[in-house]
Amino acid sequence: MPAKLLKGAEVAKEIRAELKTEVQQLHEKHGAVPGLVTILVGENPASQSYVRAKQTTAHELGFYSVQDSQPADLAEEALLKLIDKYNKDPKIDGILVQLPLPKHINENRVLLAIDPGKDVDAFHPVNVGKLMIGEPDYLPCTPAGIQELLVRSGTQVSGAEVVVVGRSNIVGKPIAMMLMQKAPGANATVTVTHTRTKDVKAHCLSADILVVAAGVAEYVKGDWVKPGAVVIDVGVNEVGKTADGKRLLKGDVEFEGASQRASAITPVPGGVGPMTITMLMKNTVRACRVHNNLK
Ligand code: GUN
């Protein structure tokens, strides 16, 4: 039987409706408006499209939102100064620096410059460390979106064998950390595979929940999926254009084959992607509450 589709786009819509009501109440009862700045350095088309989507969603939810686009040759010091300006700006609750940054800029230095209380991406080492010890203030957006999808779809995470393909700081490492925590929606046994893993297929075949963030189109083949597994495909790879000139996107999992074996699978697009943006909005609303001394 073909797999159930885990439609992140629909779940994200539900969560955004809840957030919109919360934003209205924050404004009416407390005069507070969540503020988000997205900083984009350079003109990477994929990054431009992600940042546009984040800005559009922030507007729809009634945020105060700022898009700060900077040239590709912006000096690192200038970017650090800009971040400092937003750290001090009381209208801004969340600061997002879109990654990747141009090669001449040290990404870690930049992430370290963001006030951890405004770090709605949860990439600052303080937030990474808090996640590791099981006391997060903010959860990183893509892993939080994945966990939310798993929980809302009724997937049994506790006790499950989870295999993560990919060890990035943005997805692989934090999702592994989150799903292994002693916490609701977690308590899984997690294995992380990567480019030096000897037999990725064998690991994948043991997974009750397979999370793939490899960054390679259709890296995981259909016959790597254990029958009945839940498959979360984080990949977004542009592999060409559709007949009407739109971007043709493929995930990191060979969808046709995998969906014949899995019990549930995320589509690409419309799976994890919309959840990521929604979790960013959730973090920004939370930051606004904290900055206004609200629960
Ligand atoms: N680049 C790819 N994913 C992300 C993300 O979640 N946040 C930021 N800031 N940059 C990214």
Render pLDDT for 126-159 as a digit per residue (tens, 0 to 9).
999 999 999 999 999 999 999 999 999 999 999 9
Q: Is the pLDDT of residue 273 over 90?
A: yes
Confidence of residue 295 (pLDDT cuts 50, 70, 90): confident
Find out whether the beta carbon of 97 lies less than 6 Å from any atom of ligand 1: yes
Q: Are residues 40 and 163 in the same domain?
A: no
CA–CA dist 122, 19 (Å, integer): 19
Q: Which range marks the domain in which residue 60 is found?
A: 31-117
- Residue 142's nearest CA partner among 33, 261, 266 is 266
Does the active-site annotation cover 67?
no
Q: Are residues 47 and 99 in the same domain?
A: yes
Q: Are residues 96 and 161 in the same domain?
A: no
Confidence of residue 52 (pLDDT cuts 50, 70, 90): very high
Q: Relative to the CA of 142, which ligand 1 atom is closest?
A: 6
Question: Environment class of residue 219 by beta-carbon count within 10 Å: exposed (0-12), middle (13-18) or buried (19+)?
Answer: buried
pLDDT of residue 6: 98
Total-model pTM: 0.96
Interval 181-205 mean pLDDT: 98
The alpha carbon of 81 and the centre of ligand 1 are apart by a number of angstroms equal to: 21
Q: Is the pLDDT of residue 16 over 90?
A: yes
What does the mean pLDDT of the chain come to? 97
The alpha carbon of 170 and the centre of ligand 1 are apart by a number of angstroms equal to: 7
Does the active-site annotation cover 98?
yes
Q: Are residues 106 and 165 in the same domain?
A: no
Confidence of residue 3 (pLDDT cuts 50, 70, 90): very high
The alpha carbon of 281 and the centre of ligand 1 are apart by a number of angstroms equal to: 13
Domain-embedded: residue 7: no
The alpha carbon of 224 and the centre of ligand 1 are apart by a number of angstroms equal to: 28
Find out whether the beta carbon of 141 lies less than 6 Å from any atom of ligand 1: yes
Whether residue 199 contacts residue 170, with contact meaning beta carbons closer than 8 Å, is answered with: no
Find out whether the beta carbon of 121 lies less than 6 Å from any atom of ligand 1: yes
Q: Is the pLDDT of residue 42 over 80?
A: yes
Interval 233-257 mean pLDDT: 95
pLDDT of residue 281: 98
Q: Are residues 161 and 198 in the same domain?
A: yes
Find out whether the beta carbon of 142 lies less than 6 Å from any atom of ligand 1: yes
User: Which residues face 164 on adjacent strands?
Assistant: 192, 211
CA–CA dist 146, 232 (Å, integer): 7
Per DSSP bridges, beta strands 247-250 and 237-241 are antiparallel
Confidence of residue 270 (pLDDT cuts 50, 70, 90): very high
Interval 267-276 mean pLDDT: 97
Q: Is the pLDDT of residue 186 over 90?
A: yes
Q: Are residues 163 and 82 in the same domain?
A: no
Whether residue 218 contacts residue 251, with contact meaning beta carbons closer than 8 Å, is answered with: yes
pLDDT of residue 1: 75
Which token pair is 190? 């997690």
Q: Are residues 190 and 251 in the same domain?
A: yes
The alpha carbon of 1 and the centre of ligand 1 are apart by a number of angstroms equal to: 35
Q: Return the best residue to mutate from 121, 123, 173 for the ligand 1 pocket (most ligand atoms within 8 A of CB).
A: 121
Instruction: Report the percentage of the chain scoring pLDDT > 70.
Output: 100
Alpha-carbon torsion angle 227, 171, 183, 10, nearest 10 = -70
Find out whether the beta carbon of 144 lies less than 6 Å from any atom of ligand 1: no
Confidence of residue 38 (pLDDT cuts 50, 70, 90): very high
Whether residue 39 contacts residue 83, with contact meaning beta carbons closer than 8 Å, is answered with: yes
Interval 279-287 mean pLDDT: 98
Domain-embedded: residue 132: no
Does the active-site annotation cover 54?
yes
Number of structural domains found in the chain: 2
Domain-embedded: residue 124: no
pLDDT of residue 121: 98
Distances from the Cα of 9 to the Cα of 103, 141, 157, 203, 273, angstroms: 33, 15, 21, 29, 8
Run of H or E residues at 205: helix 200-205
